[in-house]
Amino acid sequence: MRILTLLLIIPFLLAGCGSSDSESAKHDDSDMMIYTSIYPLQYFAERIGGDKVSVQSIVPPGSDGHTFEPTTKELIEVAEADLLIYNGAGFEGFIEKAKESLKEQEVKFINSSAGIEPAGDGEKSENEEHDQKEHHEDHGTEDPHVWLDPLLAIGVSEMIKDAMVEEQPELESEFEKNFDQLKKDLLSLHESFQKVVDEAEGNTFIVAHSAYGRWEKRYGLEQVSVSGISPSHEPSQKEVQELIDFARSNHISHILLERNISSNITEMIGEEINAEILYLSNLESLTQQQLDQGEDYLSVMHTNIETLRKALN
On the question of a common fold for 2-114+146-180 and 126-141+189-311, the answer reads yes
Residue 147: pLDDT band (50, 70, 90) is: very high
Rounded CA gap, 33 and 83, in Å? 7
| Other beta carbons less than 10 A from residue 188's beta carbon | 13
Q: Count how many Cα atoms sit within 13 Å of the Cα of residue 82 in the half-sphere of its side chain.
A: 22
| Other beta carbons less than 10 A from residue 287's beta carbon | 16
Query: Which region among 57-71, 112-126, 131-145, 187-201 has the lowest average model confidence (pLDDT)?
Result: 131-145
Q: For the whole model, what pTM was predicted?
A: 0.81
What are the beta bridge partners of residue 206?
Answer: 224, 255
Parallel/antiparallel/unpaired status of strands 53-57 and 276-280? unpaired
Top CATH class, 2-114+146-180: alpha beta
Rounded CA gap, 270 and 93, in Å? 31
What are the pLDDT digits (tens) for 198-226?
999 999 999 888 899 999 999 999 999 88
Q: Mean pLDDT over residues 176-204, rounded?
A: 97
Whether 256 shows a pLDDT value over 60: the answer reads yes
Domain 126-141+189-311 has CATH 3.40.50.1980: yes
Query: Which region among 37-46, 96-105, 301-310 has the lowest average model confidence (pLDDT)?
Result: 96-105
Using an 8 Å Cβ cutoff, are 143 and 215 in contact? no
Domain boundaries, the chain: 2-114+146-180, 126-141+189-311
